[in-house]
Amino acid sequence: MGTMRTHVLIAAVALGACTDAAPIESPVGPIPPAAQRPGDADAGWRALIENGYVGCGVPRSAYDQVFAPAPAWARLDRGGANAALPYNFNAFRTSSGVDVVSPNCLQCHAETLRGQLVIGLGTHTDDYTDDVSGLAVLAGGLITDAAERTEWEKWRDRVVAVAPYTITKTVGVNPADNLAAVLFAHRDADTLAWSNQPMLPLPPAIVVPVDVPPWWHMKKKHAMFYVGAGRGDHARIMMTASTLCVDTVAEARAIDSYFPDIRAFLLGLEPPRWPFAVDAELAATGHDVFAGTCARCHGSYGDGGVYPNLIVALDEVGTDPVLAAGAAQFAGEYVRWFNRSFFGELSSLAPARGYVAPPLDGIWATAPYLHNGSVPTLAALLDSSTRPTYFTRSFDTNDYDEATLGWRFTSLAAGQDAEPDAERRVRIYDTSQFGYGNGGHTFGDALTAAQRRAVLEYLKTL
């Protein structure tokens, strides 16, 4: 217990969580519900895949010089300028009349699984290990029109500002929380105006990794984010994707007007069903073991199932403490920025020193596991002695291991520091790196091997 507290303190100091004003925190334990605005799910889907809520992008003329039309499998049911774009990009016209292309929310919240695109499944194959700002600068060489250059410069400035702070150590993890902190730092909290010079101290360029959770959990969750920080109106929090380029409160209000619709779409998503056979008798045994071991935190399922919305204290869950110690957007200064800004009118950030025990609907599809993606299979999550310290895993989303419920992996004898080849190095998940630890959540260790097999079988049915 003392060691855990020491690690938390070290992490908080290293990441700048200790500021001159006390951060706003939530207690561990149950998360209370908050009223949410209603929305139209169908309208939300169209807005999600067609609207320009990011606010800027690369001019379409430059995009088309580099990228071919998307293959059929990567297209959505869209027409017009979006018809030939991949699912994770939207085309739109800016207020200055320039046609641009920009990533949409599916950049992080859609993934292929066994040959099918699953909307709402968090990405786990993206590569954020390079600084892409150089590419943003080079794109200017493809643009001659004056109005398009102005739009490109706006997009370029934002990419150049955030790119050095979104570089992960390994492929497959996500830097979204660090990205948010940098964007907050460059904006005036009252007006949302952008400043090329940061107005708050920037976070360390040490990206604390996260594994993107599935959207279908939102129908059960009272708060957003792994540390339970997102309180109040969820739609207002979701629209912080607009902090890349939306520079006025008036623009933000226009986007906010349809984000309850997007939230309504998310609430209708269902997880993909387990695609293989299930041993019903073994699953029934697993249900009983789960009820006695796991349900207190993760809830019960089926008719009458209840999800407790519980934040588990760091000392109890024991998982990597860095994110919950006040990292990235959950450091005090960024929390305070959010809460005094337009976004804080209906919502707030109030992180806890612990982690939300998530719902387990569709858990088989959401590998890898823990908040930082440090455990490649559910079998390893239930038996901490089998977790690899250093490993490479498959990024082929057809290469699913139905026996262990997760991605096939290869354990290594050494980590990233011992690998001289840069391309191979970033494909190593090294749990000794800061924020990448795979310890804790040892609740399955006390089970017998037979009980663990039964629980795995039961989890296939959720």
Name the domain boundary from 354, 375, 406: 354
179 in any annotated domain: yes
Task: Name which of 105, 8, 122 is nearest 355 in CA terms.
Answer: 8
Based on the fold, state whether residues 369 and 226 are members of the same structural domain: no
Based on the fold, state whether residues 291 and 198 are members of the same structural domain: no
Based on the fold, state whether residues 35 and 58 are members of the same structural domain: yes
- Domain enclosing residue 173, as ranges: 2-270+323-354
pLDDT per residue rounded down to tens, the chain (462 residues): 344 443 443 344 334 433 334 458 999 999 999 999 999 999 999 999 999 999 999 999 999 999 999 999 999 999 999 999 999 999 999 999 999 999 999 999 999 999 999 999 999 999 999 998 898 899 999 999 999 999 999 999 999 999 999 999 999 999 999 999 999 999 999 999 999 999 999 998 899 999 999 999 999 999 999 999 999 999 999 999 899 999 999 999 999 999 999 999 999 999 999 999 999 999 999 999 999 999 999 999 999 999 999 999 999 999 999 999 998 899 999 999 999 999 999 999 999 999 999 999 999 999 999 999 999 999 999 999 999 999 999 999 999 999 999 999 999 999 999 999 999 999 999 999 999 999 999 999 999 999 999 999 999 999
Distance CA 66, CA 60 (A): 10
Based on the fold, state whether residues 400 and 435 are members of the same structural domain: yes
Count of positions (residues) in the chain: 462
Specify the residue for token string 């959505």.
76
Based on the fold, state whether residues 336 and 417 are members of the same structural domain: no
Based on the fold, state whether residues 109 and 200 are members of the same structural domain: yes
318 in any annotated domain: no
Which residues, 6 or more positions from 150, have their beta carbon under 8 angstroms from its beta carbon?
Answer: 96, 98
Based on the fold, state whether residues 449 and 337 are members of the same structural domain: no
Based on the fold, state whether residues 238 and 372 are members of the same structural domain: no
Q: How many domains does the chain have?
A: 2
140 in any annotated domain: yes
275 in any annotated domain: no
Distance CA 371, CA 14 (A): 20
Based on the fold, state whether residues 345 and 361 are members of the same structural domain: no
Q: Backbone dihedral region of 304: left (phi > 0), alpha (psi from -120 to 50 degrees) or beta?
A: left
Based on the fold, state whether residues 343 and 386 are members of the same structural domain: no
Name the domain boundary from 333, 354, 375: 354
Distance CA 352, CA 359 (A): 18
Give the strand order in the sheet containing 429-430: 409-411, 390-393, 429-430
Are the C-beta atoms of 101 and 115 separated by less than 8 Å? no
Sign of CA dihedral 87, 89, 90, 91: negative
Based on the fold, state whether residues 138 and 263 are members of the same structural domain: yes
Based on the fold, state whether residues 338 and 433 are members of the same structural domain: no
